[in-house]
Amino acid sequence: MTDSVNRATPTTLRSWLRAPAPATPFQARMQQMWLQWHRFCANHSALFGLLVLLVIALAALFAPLLATHDIYAQDLAHRLQPPSADNWLGTDELGRDIYSRLLFGARITLYIAGLTAIIITPLGLIVGTSAGYIGGWVDTLLMRIVDIFLAFPSLILALAFVAALGPGIENAIIAIAISSWPPIARLARAETLSVRKMDYIAAVRLQGASSWHIILRHIMPMCLPSVVVRVTMNMAAIILTAAGLGFLGLGAQAPSPEWGAMLASGREFMLNHGLIAAIPGLAILFTSLAFNLLGDGLRDVMDLRHE
């Protein structure tokens, strides 16, 4: 019992993590994660970005508990009110509580950004690694498709797709994902072109492994850190695109508390009641900034060339 307690002490754990020669693969992975965490903590701007995102995520998760009003309840007798004890951030043009709507709007924004990232990450990885490893006409065909998508600004491309699919959150996610995956594929291809020349890839190929086995088991894991960093930094663009679609009425529809839609509804009152538009605008700004700062920190941590 005493030995078990001693092994669990912080000093012993710290020594185990700092051991010069790891005894097991698990210990080696834990040491790598520990070093990466320390490197991440040394980047104060990245820590700030992570803290902001945690606050936003927790606010979105516990929105039903933190909200003080029904987000759809209208009170025209108290419309366009300044911040007060009853309405912490004031009310909008229909008398709805801005603070409560902001909390639930965080859910929609993170839902759009998260689901888009889940779609574009594997899609970009598969296309990029396949093009880079197989080469030949497959590489030419896939990269020309990527070039066609990259020839248009992402927002314009998303507008075109959502106009064809129709307004709505789900269609907006599909449109944003279609316009956001090509840079991921281009990055994955570039990483694959350098990885496929390594000796261990040649050894696996000599053992008779198929191309898809090599791509899925050996190349994708090497490309994943760079792709994760790129996706994290692209989250700001995804949020801005989603807000832009909501602002134009092609994303979330009224009376949804999506931040872009809130910004659109408050733009008519900016001169006399600037907080109506400023509050969702600042929420978009800080969320996008936090993702950019976090992406910078992850780039320093997950760059395997610095290990």
pLDDT of residue 11: 57
Q: How confident is the model at residue 164 (pLDDT cuts 50, 70, 90)?
A: confident
Of the candidates 232, 216, 240, 204, the one whose C-alpha atom is nearest the C-alpha of residue 292 is 232
CATH code: domain 48-306 is: 1.10.3720.10
Which token pair is 175?
Answer: 């449109």
What integer is the mean pLDDT of 30-34? 78
Q: Is the pLDDT of residue 257 over 80?
A: yes
Please, which residues have CB within 8 angstroms of residue 223's CB and are 6 or more apart in sequence? 125, 128, 129, 187, 188, 191, 192, 195
Please, which residues have CB within 8 angstroms of residue 192's CB and are 6 or more apart in sequence? 128, 129, 131, 132, 133, 219, 223
What integer is the mean pLDDT of 97-118? 92
Phi, psi for residue 190 in degrees, rounded to 5:
-60, -40
* 8 Å CB contact between 154 and 241: yes
Question: Tens of pLDDT along 195-215?
Answer: 888 888 888 888 888 888 888
More confident of the two residues 59 and 11: 59
Phi, psi for residue 69 in degrees, rounded to 5:
-140, 160
More confident of the two residues 39 and 186: 186
Q: Is the pLDDT of residue 155 over 80?
A: yes
Rg (CA), the chain: 24
- What mean pLDDT is reported for the chain? 85
What secondary structure letter does DSSP report for 24?
Answer: S
- How much of the chain exceeds pLDDT 70, in percent? 95
Q: Is the pLDDT of residue 40 over 90?
A: no
* 8 Å CB contact between 240 and 284: yes
pLDDT of residue 7: 46
Q: What is the model's pTM?
A: 0.84
Q: Is 172 exposed, middle or buried (0-12, 13-18, 19+ CB in 10 A)?
A: buried
pLDDT of residue 128: 93
pLDDT of residue 303: 62
Q: Is the pLDDT of residue 115 over 60?
A: yes
More confident of the two residues 139 and 24: 139
Q: State which H helix or E strand residue 50 sits in.
A: helix 44-61
Q: Is the pLDDT of residue 66 over 80?
A: yes
pLDDT of residue 3: 46
Q: Is the pLDDT of residue 250 over 60?
A: yes
Q: How far apart are CA 105 and CA 260, in angstroms?
A: 9
Q: Which residue has the tokens 């930094």?
A: 233
